[in-house]
């Protein structure tokens, strides 16, 4: 499921809303049920879920989507199903019923497929013919306004996932060599053998393994100092429009395995375009065992910026490789519950006071 902050688009009809949804999500949905939530006259949230498999009870998906929308303090919503009627109708009905049970007004219930839309709530042939109403997104004023505002609608969700996929070929070979150098550099700093993977330590306040041991406090301080310097240098370079070289990326990813360094990077990460660009680049270039921290930081930056779909696909890649990484599990829970990014304001400094709690990750739906 994905959520985003909305661009300011003028929506006056079902056709306008159908044209706007891909820009609200960041991609053109297929085999999906989407809920567009409204507060007053403004779209405040969009949530997407996969259509249930044929013969599967749509109730659980419907109730979950309704709960997520209710958390946005919305007062009304429109439900849109993408796909053939045999799969869409039951899901749209179930979501509409769940929204109604939750006290929200269902403004409309639509089905979209093959360049046409149908309304389940309108029976007037003049405006909602039985064979559907054709629409052309390319000719829509809503689409034109979204593009003018810099909004992007990728062809599908797979295209979005490709934007955070690992880089291969010569880039991977160069990064493998650079990471080996970075591991040796860290080993020299700590006096430990080179190697290691993502840290599974405390979400905040906990330091690198062994930090509490008196004889190693100096090494831990040295690592934190090196990590702080690497993070600050990376942000400075990115905001000047400069790309990190292989050794800088490798050194940063190795240091980010230390929780104190990761938390410092987290505290400096917001929803700025430069933050998203930085962590996307580092995530894609990082060696497989070092992707947890940069991928989660990318997800956090995207979430803060309102790019919920990007946040979700980044987390999916992280959790596929590192299913127990605590910060990724935390963000996954927040996204699934539809919590606003403000719930993590002040993290990681005041983590103990957050309303969020670490949970076991739900199995994939």
Return the pLDDT at 163: 95
Q: ∠315-247-181 over CA atoms, to 5°?
A: 100
The H-or-E segment that residue 261 falls in is: helix 259-268
CA atoms of 106 and 87, how far apart (whole Å): 20
pLDDT at 143: 74
- Give residue 316's pLDDT: 97
Confidence (pLDDT) at 183:
97
Q: Which two tokens stand for residue 267?
A: 């505290």
How much is the pLDDT for 153? 85
Closest CA to 110 of 238, 16, 246, 241: 16
Q: In what side-by-side order are the strands of the sheet with 116-119?
A: 42-50, 32-39, 76-82, 105-113, 116-119, 133-134
Q: How far apart are CA 34 and CA 81, in angstroms?
A: 6
CA distances (Å), origin 347, targets 6, 101, 230, 246 = 24, 35, 20, 30
Give the residues across from 197 on adjacent strands: none
CATH, domain range 14-156? 3.40.140
pLDDT tens across the length of the chain (365 residues) = 444 344 556 677 888 889 889 988 989 999 999 999 998 878 888 999 999 999 999 999 999 999 999 988 899 999 999 999 999 999 999 999 999 999 999 999 999 999 999 999 998 888 889 999 998 877 777 776 766 566 778 999 999 999 999 999 999 999 999 999 999 999 998 877 655 445 443 333 333 333 444 446 777 899 999 999 999 999 999 989 999 999 999 999 999 999 999 999 999 998 899 999 999 999 999 999 999 999 999 999 999 888 889 999 999 999 999 999 999 999 999 998 888 777 766 666 655 433 344 334 444 33
Per-domain residue ranges of the chain:
14-156, 170-353
Burial class (CB in 10 A: 0-12, 13-18, 19+), 288: exposed
Inter-axis angle of helices 246-255 and 217-239, nearest 10: 140
Can you read off the two tokens belonging to residue 89? 């109708």
Strand boundaries in 124-259, DSSP class E = 133-134
3-state secondary structure 104-123: CEEEEEEEEECCEEEECCCC
Closest by alpha carbon to 282, among 253, 325, 261, 309? 253
Provide the whole-model pTM: 0.80
Question: How many angstroms separate the CA atoms of 169 and 265, rounded?
Answer: 28
């Amino acid at each position: 499921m994905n959520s985003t902050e909305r661009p300011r688009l003028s929506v006056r009809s079902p056709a306008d809303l159908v044209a706007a949804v891909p820009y609200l999500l960041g991609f053109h949905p297929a085999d999906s049920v989407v809920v567009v939530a409204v507060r007053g006259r403004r779209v405040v949230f969009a949530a997407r879920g996969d259509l249930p498999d044929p013969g599967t009870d749509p109730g659980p998906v419907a109730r979950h989507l309704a709960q997520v929308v209710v958390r946005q303090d919305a007062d009304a919503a429109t439900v849109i199903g993408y796909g053939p009627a045999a799969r869409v109708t039951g899901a749209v009905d179930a979501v509409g019923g769940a929204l109604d049970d939750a006290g929200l007004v269902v403004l409309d219930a639509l089905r979209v497929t093959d360049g046409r839309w149908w309304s389940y709530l309108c029976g007037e042939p003049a405006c909602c013919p039985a064979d559907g109403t054709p629409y052309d997104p390319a000719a829509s004023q809503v689409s034109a306004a979204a593009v003018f505002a810099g909004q992007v609608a990728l062809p599908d969700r797979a295209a979005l996932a490709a934007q955070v996929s690992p880089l291969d070929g010569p880039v991977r070979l160069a990064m493998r060599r650079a990471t080996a150098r970075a591991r040796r550099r860290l080993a020299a700093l700590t006096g430990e053998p080179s190697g290691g993977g993502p840290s599974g330590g405390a979400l905040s306040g906990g330091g690198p393994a062994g930090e509490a041991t008196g004889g190693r406090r100096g090494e831990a301080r040295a690592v934190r100092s090196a990590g702080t310097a690497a993070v600050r240098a990376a942000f400075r370079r990115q905001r000047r429009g400069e790309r990190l070289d292989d050794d800088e990326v490798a050194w940063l990813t190795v240091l980010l395995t230390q929780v104190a360094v990761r938390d410092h990077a987290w505290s400096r990460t917001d929803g700025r375009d430069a933050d998203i660009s930085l962590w996307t680049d580092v995530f894609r270039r990082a060696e497989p065992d070092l992707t947890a921290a940069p991928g989660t930081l990318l997800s956090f930056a995207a979430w803060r910026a309102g790019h919920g779909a990007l946040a979700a696909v980044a987390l999916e890649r992280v959790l596929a490789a590192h299913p127990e990484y605590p910060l990724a599990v935390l963000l996954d829970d927040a996204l699934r519950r539809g919590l606003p990014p403000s719930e993590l304001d002040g993290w990681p400094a005041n983590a103990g006071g957050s309303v969020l709690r670490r949970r076991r990750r739900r199995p994939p739906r």
